[in-house]
Chains A and B, each alone.
Chain A
Amino acid sequence: MASGWSLFVGLIIIVAASLAAWFFSPKGENQTVWRSTLILSFVSCYLMWAIVFLAQLHPLIAPKRADIRPGRVPE
C-alpha cells in the first residue's frame, strides 16, 4: 500500500494545495497573509510527515517486547 512512492504522491498533493491556496486566497489586503500562512502550513506539515515516513522506510531496528501475553498478540 504505502511505499516509497507515497513521498512523491504527498509532494504532488501539497504542491496542488499550495497552488490552490495561491490562486484562491481571498483578494484584498490580507491576501499575502492567506497565501503565506496556507502554503507554509502545507509545507511544514508535509516536511514533518515525510521525515517520519522516511525514518520508518528502511528501519535499522525492530521493536522488541517481552510483555506480550500468549493469544493477545497485537495486530
Chain B
Amino acid sequence: MAPQDTFFRSSEMSLTQLYIANEIGREVVSALGEIGQVQFRDLNPETNAFQRTFTKEIRRLDNVERQLRYFHSQMEKASIPMRSSSEFSDTLAAPLASEIDELAERSESLEQRIASLNDSYETLKKREVELSEWRWVLREAGGFFDRAHTHTEDIRQSFDNDEAPLLRDVEQHAPAGTTGDTQGQQSFSEMNIGFVAGVIPRDRIGAFERILWRTLRGNLYMNQSEIPEVIIDPTNNEEIHKNVFVIFAHGKNILAKIRKISESLGASLYGVDENSELRRDQIHEVNTRLGDVGNVLRNTKNTLDAELSQIARSLAAWMIIVKKEKAVYDTLNRFSYDQARKTLIAEAWCPTNSLSLIKSTLQDVNDRAGLSVPTIVNQIRTNKTPPTYVRTNKFTEAFQTIINSYGIPKYMEVNPGLYTIVTFPFLFAVMFGDVGHGSIMAMAASAMIFWEKKLHRTKLDELTYMAFYGRYIMLLMGLFSIYTGIIYNDIFSKAFTIFPSQWQWPEDIKAGQSVEATLKDGYRFPIGLDWNWHEAENSLLFSNSMKMKMSILLGWSHMTYALVHQLVNARHFKSKVDIFGNFIPGMLFFQSIFGYLALTILYKWIVNWPARGEDPPSLLNMLIFMFLSPGNIQEKLYSHQGTVQVLLLLIAVTQVPIMLFLKPFWLRYEHNRARALGYRGLGEQSRVSALEDDGDLNGGLGARDSMASDGEGVAMLAQDINEGEEHEEFDFSDVMIHQIIHTIEFCLNCISHTASYLRLWALSLAHQQLSIVLWDMTIGTAFGQENHIVRVIMIVICTYMFLVLSVAVLVTMEGVSAMLHSLRLHWVEAMSKHFMGEGIPFLPFSFKTLLEEDPVD
C-alpha cells in the first residue's frame, strides 16, 4: 500500500489494465464514472470516430439528445421553466440498458407528438392571421368603396372626357386616352373596373407603389390604409406592421398583372365584395370563423403547454442520463475488444490509493450482474510518466489553481501549493496591511463561506464567481491583513493607542514649536509600530527604512524556504548530482551574498549605535563596495569585516563553476560508464552498433528508469516499448547548454529577485498613503468645518463617500493590485527556485466534472 496521499506531493499513480466481460462493460464504466478516479487511455488512437465499436449507440444517443434539446427550446419558446437539475438527488444511478431504450422510445414519441402539436398550432395560427388580415381588408376596403361610390360621378366624368385624368386628386398626370370604352353606370363592374385587395408589409409599400406605377404606366387607382395593430408572423414570432390596399384598375390583363406583382412582393390578397350587404355578411362570417379558430388554438396551446410542463418536470434528469450514457460509450470506444474471448480490455491511470475502492466497486457491479467471470484488475509497470494528481478539497482547491495556472507540477515533485496557502495571503497582507480594510475583506469572505451551499447553486457573474471561487484565499488574505494592520498600527489610516508609546514629548510646548521626542528608558512598544510615528513629520523617513529592510528580510526568508524544496525534490528523485551540482552551490551563492545582507540588517538593528557614539554605516553602500573593491572597508560595521567579506565573495564566486560544470560532466561520466559496461536503452538495439563510433550515444537517464521493470506478476506491454516517448537520448551539448542557462539565470535572478521583493515596501507605502489621502479628503474635511450645520451635513455625506470609496478603491482595486503582485512573487520569485513543472494533468473520467463543465440547465 502506498503512503497516504497528501497535499505535499501528487498522488502515486498506477497504470492498470482492466479485463471486463463484454456484457457488463457499460455498467462497469458508469460505476467508475461515478467514482471519478480513473483516467482511461485511448487504445485505438489510429481508428477514427466512425470506425469505433460503439458508434451506433452514440449516434442513437445523439439523436435522443437532440430531441431533448428540441423540448428544451420549445419550453423556452413557451417560457415554461425547467425543473433545475440541483433538485434531483446527486447520484442519479446508472440506468439499466432497458431504461435507456425506454427513454429513447419515449422521447421519440414525445417528439412526434410535440412536433405535430406544434405543426397544427402553427397552421392554426397562420389561419388566424389570415382571417384577421381579411377582416382588416374588409373593414378598410369597405371604407374605400363607400367613399368611391360617392365619387362615381367624377369618375364617370373622367371616362367621358378623354382629356381628363383618371382621378384628378390622386394622379394629376395620368396619361389620358387609355380608357377609351366609356360606359356610364353606377357600379364599378359595370364600368368594367376591377379591383385587387390585400395586405402588404408596411416597409414594402413604397417599392410596391413604384413598381405598379411603372409597369401599369399609372393606369390604376390605389387606396391604402395602415392597420393599427401589429401582426405577428407565426413562423418566427416577429412583429410586422402591415397596410391594407385596394387597387382599382380595369382590364383583366392589368388586374392579373397587379395580382402577380403583389404576390411577388409578399402581399396576401383577399376577396372582397363591392356590395356593402354582401360585405357585411362576409365580415360576419370571418368573425365567426376567427372565433372558432381562436378556440381551437387555445385548446391546442393548452395541450402543448401541458405536455411541455409534463416533460419539464423530468427533462433535466433525462438530459443528465443521456449525457452520462454518451460519455460511457465514448469511454468504451477507447477500449480494445478481444473478439475471441468476448472481453473488453482497458488501460487506465488511477491513484494507487484508490485501487481498493475501484476493485470493490467492480466487484459490486459483478455481483449485481450475477456474472461468474470476474473483472480482472492488473497493475502494469511502465516507463510512461504518470499524470499528476493532487487531491484537493474545497479549501486547498483555489490555492492549487494558482499553481496549476502557472504549470502542472511534475509527477511526485514538491507541490508549491502547500506553502502558498500561507505565503500567498501573507505577502498580500504585507502590501495591504490595514485592520479596517482587512476586516472588510475577511467579512466578505466569511459571508461567502457561510452561504457557500446556496451560492454554489446560483449562477454568478464572472467576477463574483472568481471571488467566490477564491473565498478561502480571501478569508486568509483578510485575516493576515488584520494582523499586518496591527503591526503597521493602521486602521483606516488611523493609529491604535492601546499601548503606551516608547516616545515622550517635552513638557512645555509652545504653539507651533517644532519638537523632537525622546526615548523612554527600558521600555519598547510591544506590538507593531509606535503610534507616535503616525503624526510625526518624519514618519516616512522611519517607516520607509523599516519597510524596505522588512521586504528584504521577508524576501530572503521566502526564497530560502523555496530553495530548500530543491533539496527535498532531489532527495525524493534520488538524484545526488542535483544536490551537489545545483542545490549546495546555489544555496552557498545565495546565502553568502543575500544571507549576509540579511544578517547585517539584523546586526545593525541590534547594536545600540547612539550609545556607542558611532554613526551606523549604510548597508547599501556596504553591499556595493563588497563587489566593487573587496576587502576595502569605508565605514566599519564590525571588526574583521574586510576579511569576512572577501571570504564570502570567494565562496560565492567559486560556486559558479561548480554549478556550471559538475552536473553535466557527472552525467557524461555516468553515461559513458554505463555504455562501457554494455547497457543500452530499450528499443535502440537496431541502431547502436552503427552509431557507436560517432559518439552519438543513446540512452541516458530515461533509459535507466526503463530498466527497472520485471518484478513478479507484472506485465510489460509490448506495444508501449515501441512508442518510445520516454526515451530521451543523452546529448552532452544539450545538457551543458541547459546547465549554462540555468546557472546564469540563477545567479542573476538572486539579485533581481531580492530587489523584486521591494515591491512589498512600495505597495504597502502606496496603500497607506492612499488611505491617508482618502481620510483627509472626506471625513477629515468634514470635521474641519466651522459651521455646525454644514459640519453635520458634511459628516453624513463624507461618511458615505468614505465607505463607498474605501470598498471600491482601497479594498477592491488595491486588493487586486496587491494580489497580482503577490501572485508574481510566487510564480517568479519563489517557484523558480525549485519548481520543475511539465507535469501531465490527471483528467479522470468523472460524471461530476462532466456535468460541471457542461451543465444541463
Q: Which residues of A contact B (CB under 8 A)?
A: 1-4, 6, 29-33, 36-37, 40-41, 44-45, 47-49, 51-70, 73-75
Q: A65-B515, A69-B511 are in contact. Are A2 and B487 (CB under 8 A)?
A: no
B480 cross-chain contacts in A, Cβ below 8 A? 41, 44
Tell me whether B522 is interfacial, beta carbon within 8 Å. Answer: yes
| Bound CA–CA A41/B553 (angstroms) | 16
A1 touches B536 (CB 8 A): no
| Bound CA–CA A24/B505 (angstroms) | 48
Q: A55-B549, A73-B505 are in contact. Are A68 and B515 (CB under 8 A)?
A: yes
A37 touches B524 (CB 8 A): no
Tell me whether B15 is interfacial, beta carbon within 8 Å. Answer: no
Of the A-B pairs whose beta carbons lie under 8 Å apart in the complex, a sample of 10, sorted by A's number, is A33-B6, A33-B7, A49-B527, A52-B528, A57-B605, A60-B610, A62-B517, A64-B536, A64-B538, A74-B505
The 8 closest A-B pairs by CB, nearest first: A63-B536, A40-B422, A66-B514, A32-B6, A55-B546, A54-B605, A2-B526, A58-B608
A70 touches B516 (CB 8 A): no
How far does the Cβ of A14 sit from chain B's closest Cβ, in whole Å? 13
Q: Which of B8, B502, B517 meets A56, CB within 8 Å? A: B502
A48 touches B514 (CB 8 A): no
A59 cross-chain contacts in B, Cβ below 8 A? 519, 542
Q: A64-B516, A66-B512 are in contact. Are A33 and B607 (CB under 8 A)?
A: no
B6 cross-chain contacts in A, Cβ below 8 A? 29, 31-33
Q: Which of B553-567 contact A (CB under 8 A)?
A: 553-554, 557
Give the most central of A6, A36, A54: most B CB within 10 Å.
Answer: A54
Tell me whether B421 is interfacial, beta carbon within 8 Å. Answer: yes
How far does the Cβ of B151 sit from chain A's closest Cβ, in whole Å? 95
B526 touches A1 (CB 8 A): yes
A57 touches B524 (CB 8 A): yes
A32 cross-chain contacts in B, Cβ below 8 A? 6-8, 418
| Bound CA–CA A1/B525 (angstroms) | 9
How far does the Cβ of B421 sit from chain A's closest Cβ, in whole Å? 5
Tell me whether B483 is interfacial, beta carbon within 8 Å. Answer: yes
Q: A48-B430, A64-B538, A70-B509 are in contact. Are A75 and B529 (CB under 8 A)?
A: no
How far does the Cβ of A75 sit from chain B's closest Cβ, in whole Å? 7
| Bound CA–CA A73/B501 (angstroms) | 12
B517 cross-chain contacts in A, Cβ below 8 A? 62-65
Q: A41-B426, A44-B423, A64-B538 are in contact. Are A55 and B605 (CB under 8 A)?
A: yes
| Bound CA–CA A57/B503 (angstroms) | 12
Q: What residue in chain B is nearest A53 (Cβ atoms)? A: B524
Tell me whether B236 is interfacial, beta carbon within 8 Å. Answer: no
How far does the Cβ of A71 sit from chain B's closest Cβ, in whole Å? 9
Q: Which of B3-17 contact A (CB under 8 A)?
A: 4-8
| Bound CA–CA A39/B125 (angstroms) | 73
A66 touches B537 (CB 8 A): yes
Q: Which of B503, B513, B516, B606 meets A54, CB within 8 Å? A: B606
B723 cross-chain contacts in A, Cβ below 8 A? none
B536 touches A36 (CB 8 A): no
A37 touches B421 (CB 8 A): yes
B418 touches A66 (CB 8 A): no
Give the most central of A2, A33, A48: most B CB within 10 Å.
Answer: A48
**Chain B 233-274 interface mask (CB, 8 Å, partner A; 1/0):** 000000000000000000000000000000000000000000
**Chain B 487-509 interface mask (CB, 8 Å, partner A; 1/0):** 10000000001001111010111
| Bound CA–CA A37/B480 (angstroms) | 13
Q: A47-B557, A52-B487, A58-B609 are in contact. Are A66 and B513 (CB under 8 A)?
A: yes
Q: What residue in chain B is nearest A44 (Cβ atoms)? A: B426
| Bound CA–CA A17/B454 (angstroms) | 36
How far does the Cβ of B479 sit from chain A's closest Cβ, in whole Å? 9
Q: Which of B422, B512, B537 meets A64, CB within 8 Å? A: B537
Q: A40-B421, A64-B516 are in contact. List 4 more A-B contacts (CB 8 A).
A: A1-B524, A51-B554, A60-B609, A67-B535
| Bound CA–CA A72/B396 (angstroms) | 52
A74 touches B422 (CB 8 A): no
B510 cross-chain contacts in A, Cβ below 8 A? 70
A6 cross-chain contacts in B, Cβ below 8 A? 524, 526
| Bound CA–CA A36/B421 (angstroms) | 9
A61 touches B541 (CB 8 A): yes
Tell me whether B518 is interfacial, beta carbon within 8 Å. Answer: yes
A4 cross-chain contacts in B, Cβ below 8 A? 524, 606
Q: Which of A48, A49, A63 meets B533, CB within 8 Å? A: A63
Q: What residue in chain A is nearest B418 (Cβ atoms)? A: A36
Q: Which of B398-452 contact A (CB under 8 A)?
A: 418-419, 421-423, 426, 430
How far does the Cβ of B834 sit from chain A's closest Cβ, in whole Å? 15
A70 touches B508 (CB 8 A): yes
Q: What residue in chain A is nearest B534 (Cβ atoms)? A: A63
A62 cross-chain contacts in B, Cβ below 8 A? 503, 516-519
**Chain B 82-125 interface mask (CB, 8 Å, partner A; 1/0):** 00000000000000000000000000000000000000000000
A3 touches B515 (CB 8 A): no
A65 cross-chain contacts in B, Cβ below 8 A? 505, 514-515, 517, 535-537
Tell me whether B36 is interfacial, beta carbon within 8 Å. Answer: no
Tell me whether B465 is interfacial, beta carbon within 8 Å. Answer: no
